[in-house]
Amino acid sequence: MAIEFLKKAAKTPQSGEEETVRIVQEMLQAIESAGEEKVREYTKTLDKYSGNVVVTPEEIAKSASSLSKQIKDDIKFAYNRVRTFAKKQLESITEFESEIAPGVFCGQKQIPMETAGCYVPGGRYAHVASAIMSITTARVAGVKKIVACSPPNPEEGIHPAILYTMDMCGADTILAIGGVQGIASMAFGLFTGKPADILVGPGNRFVAEAKRILYGRVGIDLFAGPTEIAIIADETADPEIVASDLVGQAEHGPDSPAWLITTSRELAEQVLSLIPGLIADLPETQSEAAEAAWRDYGEIGLCENREEAARLSDQYAAEHLEVQAENQQWWLNRLRNYGSLFLGEETTVAFGDKCSGTNHILPTKGASRYTGGLSVGKFIKTVTYQHMNREANREVAAVTARISRLEGMEAHARTGDDRLQKYFPDETFQTNC
């Protein structure tokens, strides 16, 4: 049967992109032209902040002293889990050299990037965990210089907990700048003199668009934001848990999609009836965000069987994908497109978002079809090298010459000819195709 939607979204993650592109392009052009002064102007206008852009050691110490021991312990707990997982990822990335033919040696090296720019969202929420995810992972990867930025509050600057976390995780320079101006500052090397080789971190649609436009001039981790969740659930799932997890992500903001894919009509109807009450019970800021997100972007799709559910899930290619259904191994083996997978009721997106160990900077807007989330490997260049002895040139140089002439590239061909003539002056080789 065709998939039946008990609720269909009025908008898609791509809605409103044209206006976003226009605004971001104008801001980037203005910042590149006018430099640091334009950044200060945007920060004063948009964030109502006129304090230090480059955070001082004294400001970092003041923030640390304002936090309770419990908060610091919790941040360290999350940091240790994320760091441990990142180290395991690093161990899985190997260098090698192999003699692939007699006298021909090819190898692979892993070289960390020089400078990383880590964006840590602020504004509506204090995204402490995002600082851990980006800065810690870059440090484990071996990045030499880490610049981090976060939107400042009008009075205190960067949220004290975010600032403490940035410093603890190993940021070398911290900038009290948010939004497009933060991304631009790190990309252009403003306030530091060190343009970023790569920009990482989640953010709103303006931050995501700034990264997209700058991609090519700098590397980026992936297109991350606004956040998404999809849940696959069958008749064994608890509708209250499913509804709670959908709302848990919808509170991120009014443009955060939340999708339910289910094989159970009863569960779908129960979840649909539960969500409004869960949203209404939230504090005002969170409730307003979740209500708009669920109204405009929420969907519930009813599928005939698990295979159809898996196909629909792969079409969504959600950033976060929960499976609350029987036979978790089947789903693990079958599903292909997701940023991070959460198997079973016992785990939830929030665990991965905050402290369980895996990274929460993940692909959105269907990008999980071709990339995974932020990892140590994103900060490391996999490069190749080769060396060979003269004897190996007998084959390699001759084949190179013939292929080059086949392609019409005579100068290429002669680089092979020259070596054959030098190394084997008394021999004749076929170098024409």
pLDDT in tens, 206-249: 998 999 999 999 999 987 668 899 999 999 999 999 999 999 99
121 and 162 in a common domain:
yes
96 and 150 in a common domain:
yes
Model pTM above 0.85: yes
In a domain, 251, yes or no: yes
236 and 215 in a common domain:
no
Asked which of 221, 241, 271 is the last residue of a domain, the reply is 221
In a domain, 384, yes or no: no
Between the two ends of the chain, the Cα-to-Cα distance in Å is 58
Which stretches in the chain have pLDDT values below 70?
1, 13-16, 224-225
421 and 338 in a common domain:
no
In a domain, 24, yes or no: no
97 and 232 in a common domain:
no
65 and 11 in a common domain:
no
CA distance 398 to 392: 10
pLDDT at res. 205: 85
Q: Residue 70: CB partners within 8 Å, gap ≥ 6?
A: none
What is the count of structural domains for the chain?
Answer: 3
Task: Please say whether the dihedral angle defined by the alpha carbons of residues 192, 197, 202 and 204, taken in this order, is positive or negative.
Answer: positive
Catalytic residue numbers read 319-320
In a domain, 86, yes or no: yes
pLDDT at res. 35: 97
Could you list the residue range(s) of the whole structural domain that residue 410 is in? 389-433
58 and 196 in a common domain:
yes
CA distance 316 to 277: 26
Asked which of 190, 221, 252 is the last residue of a domain, the reply is 221
pLDDT in tens, 344-389: 999 999 999 999 999 999 999 899 999 999 999 999 999 999 999 9
The CATH number assigned to the domain holding 181 equals 3.40.50.1980
